[in-house]
Structure formats: C-alpha cells, structure tokens
A and B are shown apart, each in its own frame.
Chain A
C-alpha cells in the first residue's frame, strides 16, 4: 500500500476540513477571506505536483488507483481550475447569504473527486469519484437558496444526475456480472472474450451514457443550460471546466484502457455522438439571449468537439483532447469571470447588459472578446490550436474510416455557426446602439489579476503551443503500445 501516491488528494481534503474547522472560530468578514487561504493552499499543492513524475506509472490500493502522466495532467488541470474558481467565489461571497466557508469546502471536496477521477483505474473507483463530484455539485448548484433559478437548476441537476448515476451503476453491475472484474486492466485482459456478449456490451454502453452526463454530451446533455443559468457563477464555472475534464479523464480510461476492442468497433457510434452533440449545442445556442445559457450550449458543443478526439481513436486525438481542455479552461474561466463582475453590477444576464461594455471597462470587454474568439476557434488564441489538433487527429483516422470526413464537415459547420452566435455577443459589447448605462465598472484587483492570467494563458497556448503539445503527447504515450 503506497499512501504517498494519494498525498495530493489527502492534502486537498485536509485543506477542506481545515476550512470547515476554521469556520467555527472566525468572524464573518474573515470567513470570506478563507477563499484566498484555500487558493494559496491549492497553489502550493499545484507546485508540489511537479515533484511527481508519474513515470513509470504507479498503482496503489489493489490497482484501483493509478498515478501516471495522464492522471497528473488532469490533477494539475483541476487544481488550476479550482484556484481560479476559489478566487471567483471570494468575489461572489456577498451574494451567498450564509455558509461561504462551506461553499469553499465543497469546491475543495469536488476537486478531490476530480483528482481521484483522474487516477481511477477501476469501475468502483470511477463510481465513487464521480459521485463525490456529482453530490458536491448538487449542493453547489443550489447554494443560493433564496433564488428560484438556483433551486431549479439544482433540482434539474439532481434528477438527471441521479438518472445517469443509475445508468452508470447498472452498467457497472452488468460488466461485473459478466466478467467478474472491476479493474480496467483486468477487464481489458478478458474483454475480447465478451465482445459478442450482449449483456456486457449493454453494460459498457450504460457506462458510456453515465459518463456523457458528466461531459454534457448527447444523450445526457439536457441539464446544461438550465444549470449554468441557475447556479452561482463560480459553481457553474467549475462545472463547465473541472467536471467536464474529470468526465473526459474517466471516459478516456474506460474506452481506451478497459475496452479498447469494443471502442474500436463502436467508431460509428462515437462519430454519431460527436455529430449530434456538436449540432445540438451550436444550433440551440443561436436564439439564446442569456449569456450563461449561451455558455451552457457552447459547453455542449465543446463536448462534441472534444468527442472528436475520442472518435479519432488514435493518440493524436487523445493528446488533442488534453490540449483542447487546456485552452478551454482559460477561455471559459475568463468568460465566467467577466459574467461575475458585470452581473455583479447589473442584475440580469441578458446580452443587452453587455451593451457599451467597451466604454465601461475596456479590460472586461477585451477579455470576454478574447474568450469568445478562443471558444470559436480563431487564431491566434488557444481554442484555434485545440480545434486544429482535433481536426488533424480525425483526418488522420479518415484514411481508415471515411465517415470521419462527415465528422470534420459537421465540425467545420459547427464552428461557423458558433462564430455567428459568439459574434452576436461581441457585437453587443462593441457596437450596440445607445447603451443604457455608461458608468465605469470597477474591477477588484484580485479578479483583475485572474482575468489577466486567463488572457495570458489563452495567448500563450495559442502562440507557443509547443510545450503543452509535448506534455500532452507524453501523457497519452502509454496507450501507443496497446
């Protein structure tokens, strides 16, 4: 038993418990600042994570837990997201009536779930990690008890989350019932015997559906816009970034470590999932006027783009997913930061609130524009390079499977549609007629620093992608031999 492998998770959980304890003794104004303490703590853990190399990959807890470069990548990713989200939460504190320390602690517990998910090598571990994330998010999404929209979002998330957990656990039961195995490596060893077993296939399919809930992909995507709209801004941001990334970590491990043979046979299913998700997200985003709902639908569309990397069935695709998530992290967090600051000022989330943002705060206008442009996939920002890598990976596979051309065509179509609705927002920022208010928006210094950090991240990944490309290629290298 090697406890040192989970030391980062232990540190995160201890930090969360420490916050809950500190809450008992601190005066209310000091409680708000606990968020900074947590962020600094996470920053230290983030730095500490670089002392782990993950090579050779190490297993622990009867091989349920694996620490390899892929797991480390996702752990660092979640830590980074959580740091920014905690800073956002401090800015959001005044709108949370009570229990801000619990809010911080729940973010940390969700983070622990994401970090365990990054290392899951066993269906039981997968289920526990996923439930840890989902259950904490049930609370986080409905944290503003006095707001009806928040409660509505929470209930929707609860119902669909429970449904997909049911699918997931049923699927795990079917897999365990047929093969007698829970460990990914052991399932992989026997999976070839069960490739014709309908019950086994049904089990894998149910697990896939359960994971689609986490990544907000068809067929379990329906909750996304409502929950993004209703939940507190930091919770929505963490849901959009961290939860989606954890879902992809699990999806990659299940599909390519546990059942690679079945995944290869299901290439058309994966292509269809990606196509439907891209079309649904992008087309439904067109008529939206609420900025958070636009981001919700764009999150569905982005899940579709990320599925491109899964459907490509090659290492280039898996590396592209990791890269794309990196660019997505900065763009989405930047967009939610701007929403947090602007909507703080004006109660309402309609695009029209953004009118004249250019005059009110050039920094906010520039950052939101860059975030949307990056999400749309236009150079020189990170999103472009992510899409470039994904399309490249799919075209690589197209030599074996001509259906991939359709996938690329739909992806290109989706990008053009997304440019349409993102530009609608940008137009509101820069050239809407007669903006109603023109008072400057104050940007708190810490939030401003977080904004600049996200902006630099987008630019760095867009202009100098080499370092992250190499990191992501290393992280998925272990699949090459399989």
Chain B
C-alpha cells in the first residue's frame, strides 16, 4: 500500500516524460489524477491505521522490505506508525492541492508536472522510509526539483539569488545530516542502514555517550538548516517568496518537516543521551525562531514575506516540543508539524491566488479586498487566524500541547514563547488582515474578481477542512500519535514511559479514551 502511494506519482512522472510537450492539458489531468488517487490512498491508509498501543518493541504497520544494496545493508524499507501517519496524510493532501494550484503555470508545463510528481513521490517516500539511506535519498529526490522549479518558474526579481541561496543552504544542511547518518551507521556497528535493526541494536546496547555527543550535533545542525532553525533561516522567506506557488506549498508545507521528522524518528530514539544534553540549547534556540523571526515578520511589507517569516517562526513550536522530551511535548510537536503543513500550504496557495488576481502582494497597496474577493478573503482570514493560534484550528491544539509539555522543563522559554505566539503572531497577522482585507478599496482593484470557475476554491477548502477537523477533534490524530511517541520516548526518558501524568495535558488533546490504551 505504501509502495503504491510512493510509486504512483513517481511512475506517472516518468510516463509523462514520454508524452509530447504540446499536450499540456493532458499533463495537468494526469498529474491531478495521480496526486488525487495518492490522496485517496493516504486517506484510506489513515482510516485503516488504528492507534492501538504498540508492543514493547516498536512495531510498524504496512511494512514492506525489499533488499536494495545488500552489500551495504541498505534496503527499500517502508512502514508507518503514529509519528508519520499524519504526516503522510498531510503530505498527500497538500500535494493534491498544490497540483490544483499549478494551473498558474503556463510555460513548459511538461517539465513542471514531471518535477512536481517527482517531488511528491520523494516526499512521501521520505516520510514512509524506515531506512536511513532511503530516507536521505528520497529527501534529495524531492529537494532537487525544488531548486529547478524556483530557478525556472520562480517569481520576482530576486529569483536567481533565491535559487542559489536555497540550493547552497539546503545542500549544505543535507550533507551535514548525511555525514551524521553515516556516522550513526558506522558507530552503531550493525552494518545496516535499517532503522528497525538500528533501534533494536540501540535497545540492547546504546551507543557510547562520546559517539552520541559527536553525531547528535551533526544531525541537529544538518536538519536544523533544512528546517530553517534560527540562525540558519535566511533562505526560507526569500526562497518561498520567489518560488512558484505549488513549490512553496509543497516545500514549506511538507518537505521542510523532513528535518523535524528526522529528529524525532532518528535522533531521539538512537541518540537519547545526547538529546537530553542538547535539549536546553534547542529550547533557547527556538526562541530565535519564535521571537526574533516574529519581530522580523512584523516589519515585512509583502504578504509572502510575512507568511515566510511566520512559517519560520512556527518551527519554533516544534523545536520547543522536541526539546521538552516528554510525551505531551513531543506529541504536540508532531501535531504542530501536521497542522502547520496544512496551514503553510494554505497560506502560500492563497497568496499565490491573490497575486494572480491582484497582481501584487504589497500589503500597503491593497485594502478592502474582502468585499471584492469574498471567498479568497475569508479563506485568507481563516489562514491568518490559524496562524496566530486561534482555538478551533489544529494549530492551537498543537501549540497549546507543546506549551503544556515544555512548562515543566523550560518555564522561562515557555513564557516567552507564549508571549511570542500570542502577541507577536497576533500583531503581524492582524496587520496583514487589516491591510489586505479591510479598509477602503484602492481604485485599481475596483474591478478585481475571483475566478468564476466553480472548482477554483477546491484546493483551499481541502486544506481548511483538516485544519478545522483536527482543531475540533485533535483526538483523531493524538490517539494515533501517543502510542508511537511513547515508544520513541521510552528510550529517551525511561521515566516517561509510564502512563502520562494526569492533569497537565489540555482536555482536548488528551481524551479519556486514551487512558484505556495504556498498557
């Protein structure tokens, strides 16, 4: 099932290579069909996956393993558990929405759709992968199309600079992470890149502390660059501002979560001692994202840059959740990752639509557009509200869970973080709302209209629905996340493997049903 999910977009992309380039409409349909079926598969997968507690050994569902490079212990090994099931669902939905938004691409459609499908397949493979080599390989497969898409179809005057910057930054980050992964493989001594084998080996004989202290910074810094951790975040706003809309949606929404996923999936369970030693540093660095990037976002005049910086800022929540190293915090981090994926894709999709309609993204030049563009305006309003963490959206559930989790270890950071989230986030989001949607309509926009095509709102509706659904019923996700997060943390902080402490969790994210699941 996972293999279909991964190879459907990849093979469609390869088949499109054979189609002559003047069949642009057919390419679109094929890409839509492939990502649409992928999305349905992911939804089916999500529904089939039950969050039943896992045994003492970390078991994966829908596992499949095929030897790939046996000489080095590398195999094609995929599987899901509570940590990645939500991310796969999110990735597949965002990929479909991004393909819908790709209508704006009018030149060299063939190459664009091929790259988009490759990127989709790569992303899904990265999140399904249970082999360190496949994990990295799939990520690069998804990353390289990003560079090309920004370079060829990018927007704005800075696209060449953006291409170079994002290419160099992300390649460096990926290489550092690769060095960390190889070091991990060598030091574990299991002669295998297989995550399950490595986890079993680590359970018997944890890596020596010296090795952990060496490998963790490599993984952390490498992944940190990929996630736009402060102070390595400068590529993100420029890159997203210059990327074509579907690329920005896929990268900011899904691909960027790869690094965070790597931290939770690989760094925490395999390098527990180093993770504990670094937790404090991570927590303080996340303030750079939350506070500093929040302030920078306040000063931006261009909607894309506001969204870009706010997406960098939101990564701070995830870091804080990971740094807390307890069940509530890590589950919250995963929840924020999923919620932010929908949100970032929604925001960039809407800003692309807005730019197409009005021809500008400068906040000062716009105004009163809610009257002219009722659907687009309301959707943007929802996106911006979700961005400042309004209850009812999945982001709120995730962020509040992170804060509850982090309170015990890092009270100061948490206070500052809450402040940043509520005040700074509120300021720049509300400013954007006021500048774009309210006030008098400038004369040049007196005639703008939304596309009258009935399916045009489809991608945005698809992205808003899960935000609201998981906002009102976070248990749909948390029921699946908790058992997996628990078994990840069982290695890091054995004390936490006991049933989670009672009243600290927010009522929404910790439904009573969960208690029955505890062994």
Residues in A465-482 with C-beta less than 8 Å from chain B: 465-466, 469-470, 473
- Asked if residues A380 and B71 are in contact (CB atoms below 8 Å), the reply is no
Query: Is A427 located at the chain interface by the 8 A CB criterion?
Result: yes
In the assembly, what is the distance between CA of A430 and CA of B147, in Å? 13
Chain B residues whose CB sits within 8 angstroms of the CB of A380 once the complex forms: 137, 140-141
- Asked if residues B141 and A379 are in contact (CB atoms below 8 Å), the reply is yes
- Asked if residues A427 and B144 are in contact (CB atoms below 8 Å), the reply is no
- Asked if residues A416 and B70 are in contact (CB atoms below 8 Å), the reply is no
Query: Is B172 located at the chain interface by the 8 A CB criterion?
Result: yes
Chain A residues whose CB sits within 8 angstroms of the CB of B186 once the complex forms: 392, 395-396, 399
- Do A379 and B179 contact each other (CB < 8 Å), given the known contacts A416-B168, A419-B171, A430-B152? no
Q: Which of B160, B176, B179 contacts A395 (CB 8 A)?
A: B179
Chain A residues whose CB sits within 8 angstroms of the CB of B136 once the complex forms: 379
Task: Convert B132-173 into 0s and 1s, putting 1 for each residue whose CB lies closer than 8 angstroms to a CB of A.
Answer: 010011001100100110011000000010011001100110
- Asked if residues B167 and A423 are in contact (CB atoms below 8 Å), the reply is yes
- B183 nearest CB neighbor, chain A only: A395
- Do A378 and B164 contact each other (CB < 8 Å), given the known contacts A415-B175, A416-B171? no
- Asked if residues A373 and B144 are in contact (CB atoms below 8 Å), the reply is yes
In the assembly, what is the distance between CA of A380 and CA of B141, in Å? 7
Query: Is B103 located at the chain interface by the 8 A CB criterion?
Result: no
Q: Measured between C-beta atoms, what is the minimum distance from A26 to chain B in Å?
A: 43
- A398 nearest CB neighbor, chain B only: B183
Task: Convert A3-25 into 0s and 1s, putting 1 for each residue whose CB lies closer than 8 angstroms to a CB of B.
Answer: 00000000000000000000000
Residues in A398-443 with C-beta less than 8 Å from chain B: 398-399, 408, 412-413, 415-416, 419-420, 423, 427, 430-431
Q: Which of B68, B133, B182, B185 contacts A466 (CB 8 A)?
A: B68
Chain A residues whose CB sits within 8 angstroms of the CB of B168 once the complex forms: 416, 419-420
How many chain B residues touch A (CB < 8 A): the figure is: 31
- Do A469 and B69 contact each other (CB < 8 Å), given the known contacts A379-B137, A395-B179, A395-B183? yes
- Do A431 and B171 contact each other (CB < 8 Å), given the known contacts A392-B185, A412-B176, A473-B71? no
In the assembly, what is the distance between CA of A431 and CA of B182, in Å? 36
User: DSSP majority for the A interface?
Assistant: helix
- Asked if residues A384 and B160 are in contact (CB atoms below 8 Å), the reply is no
Task: Convert B53-86 into 0s and 1s, putting 1 for each residue whose CB lies closer than 8 angstroms to a CB of A.
Answer: 0000000000000001111100000000000000
- Asked if residues B70 and A466 are in contact (CB atoms below 8 Å), the reply is yes
Chain B residues whose CB sits within 8 angstroms of the CB of A395 once the complex forms: 179, 182-183, 186
- Do A391 and B182 contact each other (CB < 8 Å), given the known contacts A416-B168, A431-B151, A469-B72? yes
- Asked if residues A465 and B69 are in contact (CB atoms below 8 Å), the reply is yes
Chain A residues whose CB sits within 8 angstroms of the CB of B183 once the complex forms: 395, 398
Query: Is A205 located at the chain interface by the 8 A CB criterion?
Result: no
- B184 nearest CB neighbor, chain A only: A395
Q: Which of A415, A420, A465 contacts B164 (CB 8 A)?
A: A420
Query: Is A92 located at the chain interface by the 8 A CB criterion?
Result: no
Task: Convert B162-204 into 0s and 1s, putting 1 for each residue whose CB lies closer than 8 angstroms to a CB of A.
Answer: 0110011001100110110011011100000000000000000
Q: Measured between C-beta atoms, what is the minimum distance from B35 to chain A in Å?
A: 21
Chain B residues whose CB sits within 8 angstroms of the CB of A396 once the complex forms: 186
- Do A466 and B69 contact each other (CB < 8 Å), given the known contacts A388-B182, A412-B179, A419-B168? yes
Residues in A370-392 with C-beta less than 8 Å from chain B: 373, 378-380, 384, 388, 391-392
- Asked if residues B144 and A378 are in contact (CB atoms below 8 Å), the reply is yes
Most buried by B among A391, A396, A431: A431
Chain B residues whose CB sits within 8 angstroms of the CB of A415 once the complex forms: 171, 175
In the assembly, what is the distance between CA of A408 and CA of B172, in Å? 12
- B147 nearest CB neighbor, chain A only: A423
- Do A470 and B71 contact each other (CB < 8 Å), given the known contacts A384-B140, A396-B186? yes
In the assembly, what is the distance between CA of A465 and CA of B193, in Å? 15
In the assembly, what is the distance between CA of A391 and CA of B180, in Å? 11
Task: Convert B355-389 into 0s and 1s, putting 1 for each residue whose CB lies closer than 8 angstroms to a CB of A.
Answer: 00000000000000000000000000000000000
Q: Measured between C-beta atoms, what is the minimum distance from B289 to chain A in Å?
A: 23
Chain A residues whose CB sits within 8 angstroms of the CB of B176 once the complex forms: 412
- A420 nearest CB neighbor, chain B only: B168
Chain A residues whose CB sits within 8 angstroms of the CB of B178 once the complex forms: 388, 391
Chain B residues whose CB sits within 8 angstroms of the CB of A466 once the complex forms: 68-71
Chain A residues whose CB sits within 8 angstroms of the CB of B70 once the complex forms: 466
- Asked if residues B172 and A412 are in contact (CB atoms below 8 Å), the reply is yes
- Asked if residues A412 and B182 are in contact (CB atoms below 8 Å), the reply is no
In the assembly, what is the distance between CA of A470 and CA of B74, in Å? 13
Chain A residues whose CB sits within 8 angstroms of the CB of B72 once the complex forms: 469
Q: Measured between C-beta atoms, what is the minimum distance from A69 to chain B in Å?
A: 15
Residues in B454-482 with C-beta less than 8 Å from chain A: none
Q: Measured between C-beta atoms, what is the minimum distance from A376 to chain B in Å?
A: 8
- Asked if residues A427 and B137 are in contact (CB atoms below 8 Å), the reply is no
Q: Measured between C-beta atoms, what is the minimum distance from B84 to chain A in Å?
A: 21
- Asked if residues B182 and A392 are in contact (CB atoms below 8 Å), the reply is yes
Task: Convert A59-82 into 0s and 1s, putting 1 for each residue whose CB lies closer than 8 angstroms to a CB of B.
Answer: 000000000000000000000000
Q: Measured between C-beta atoms, what is the minimum distance from A443 to chain B in Å?
A: 18
Chain B residues whose CB sits within 8 angstroms of the CB of A398 once the complex forms: 183
- A419 nearest CB neighbor, chain B only: B171
In the assembly, what is the distance between CA of A469 and CA of B68, in Å? 12
Chain A residues whose CB sits within 8 angstroms of the CB of B152 once the complex forms: 430-431
In the assembly, what is the distance between CA of A384 and CA of B141, in Å? 12
- Asked if residues B160 and A427 are in contact (CB atoms below 8 Å), the reply is yes
In the assembly, what is the distance between CA of A328 and CA of B301, in Å? 48
- B154 nearest CB neighbor, chain A only: A431
- Asked if residues B140 and A469 are in contact (CB atoms below 8 Å), the reply is no
Q: Measured between C-beta atoms, what is the minimum distance from B49 to chain A in Å?
A: 29
- B138 nearest CB neighbor, chain A only: A379
In the assembly, what is the distance between CA of A413 and CA of B147, in Å? 19
Chain B residues whose CB sits within 8 angstroms of the CB of A379 once the complex forms: 136-137, 140-141, 144
Instruction: List 13 contacting pairs A-B, 8 Å CB cutoff, sorted by A.
Output: A379-B136, A380-B140, A384-B140, A395-B186, A413-B172, A415-B171, A419-B168, A419-B171, A427-B163, A466-B68, A466-B69, A466-B70, A469-B69
Please give 9 more A-B residue pairs, beta carbons under 8 A apart, in addition to A392-B186, A415-B175.
Answer: A378-B144, A392-B182, A392-B185, A416-B175, A420-B168, A423-B163, A423-B167, A431-B152, A473-B71
Residues of A with Cβ closer than 8 Å to B? 373, 378-380, 384, 388, 391-392, 395-396, 398-399, 408, 412-413, 415-416, 419-420, 423, 427, 430-431, 465-466, 469-470, 473
Closest 3 interchain pairs by CB?
A412-B175, A379-B140, A469-B71
